[in-house]
Structure 1
Amino acid sequence: MARSAAASPFTPDPAAERRRLLGERGETIAARHLVRGGMELLDRNWRCDAGEIDLVLRDGRVLVICEVKTRSSEAFGTPLEAVGPAKADRLRRLAVRWLRAHDVHPDDVRIDLVGVLAPPGGPVEVEHVEGVG
């Protein structure tokens, strides 16, 4: 009996690959935007068994945990609409894990969101919201 290509775990999913590349592009754009705004990038795509932090930065004496959401259009809402209370809670838990893993004791910790709208062939828009959680 022949197996379908979709059943193979080794068959690449073109849509998933496009989403991954769009996400990577958005994180690069967000990191560049925040660094140009005066922040220092400390870590990117930090992972543990509880999840991933997109960007970890320092804004003066404040440690910033940053979630980046990237979209190519607003057909399914703005990038920032993709972050709800459950994600904010997870980011707070991940912040504690990052601090413990790096033995860092900042004066304060802030959760920020960056939404990147990157339409194909169009201008990129970046929206930064400080202190969401």
Structure 2
Amino acid sequence: MARPAPAHPFVPDPAAARKRLLGERGETIAARHLVGRGMVVLDRNWRCDAGEIDLVLRDGRVLVICEVKTRSSTDYGAPLEAVDRRKADRLRRLGARWLRAHDHHVDDVRIDLVGVLAPPGRPVEVEHVEGIG
């Protein structure tokens, strides 16, 4: 059985494009959900050499660093199961980098997670976890 030829580097991978679009949709849904709870979006998809923060928000005088995980099904687990202790530690480091790069005065920094389950043709489910360990 012949193997398929590798994709040309300039030809977009349809699966990767779908995954990227699903992630963008999830971040938009999460941002709307959090704004609806009274938070203010300060930044989206902030990047530095150490990584990326999906959403940076202000909740009163608290800076919220938010990781968004979006899935179209639970075949490979619930969205929030994808965040482990190592990822949470990296988010803390990224939050400190974001604060150094921006002129914001806050009383505290909190790491939140938002899981978005967006199955095709079905209602979207949003799960928000405040202040992960």
Moved over 4 A (4+): none
Q: Name the counterpart of 1:80.
A: 80
Shift of 1:105: 2.9
Aligned-partner Cα distance in 1 for 2:119–2:8: 32
Equivalence for 1:46: 46
- Indicate the SS of the match to 1:6: coil
Instruction: Indicate the residue corresponding to 2:130 in structure 1.
Output: 130
Alpha-carbon offset, residue 11 of structure 1: 1.6
Determine the C-alpha separation between the residues in 1 that align with 2:103 and 2:85: 27
Equivalents in 1 of 2:18, 2:6: separation in Å?
A: 17
Supply the RMSD in Å over aligned alpha carbons. Answer: 1.1
Q: Give the AA of the match of 1:69.
A: K
Question: Which residue identity is paired with 1:9?
Answer: P
Partners of 2:121 and 2:7 in 1: CA distance? 34
Q: Counterparts of 1:80 and 1:7 in 2: how far apart (Å)?
A: 31
Quick one: distance in 2 between partners of 1:41 and 1:97?
A: 17
Q: Which residue of 2 aligns with 1:61?
A: 61
SS in 1 for 2:38: coil
Are the aligned partners of 1:5 and 1:11 in contact in 2 as well (CA < 8 Å)? Answer: no
Give the drift of 1:6.
2.3
2:77 partner letter:
G
For the 8 Å contact 1:65–1:111, the answer to whether it is kept is yes
Counterpart of 1:114 in structure 2 is 114
The DSSP-based 3-state class of the residue aligned with 2:6 is helix
Q: What amino acid is aligned across from residue 106 of structure 2 in structure 1?
A: P
TM-score under structure 1 normalisation?
0.94
**Runs of 5+ in structure 2 lacking a partner?**
none
- Unmatched tracts of structure 1, length 5 or more: none
| Residue 104 of structure 1, CA deviation | 2.3
Mapped to 2, the partners of 1:125 and 1:32 lie a distance apart of: 13
Number of residue equivalences: 130
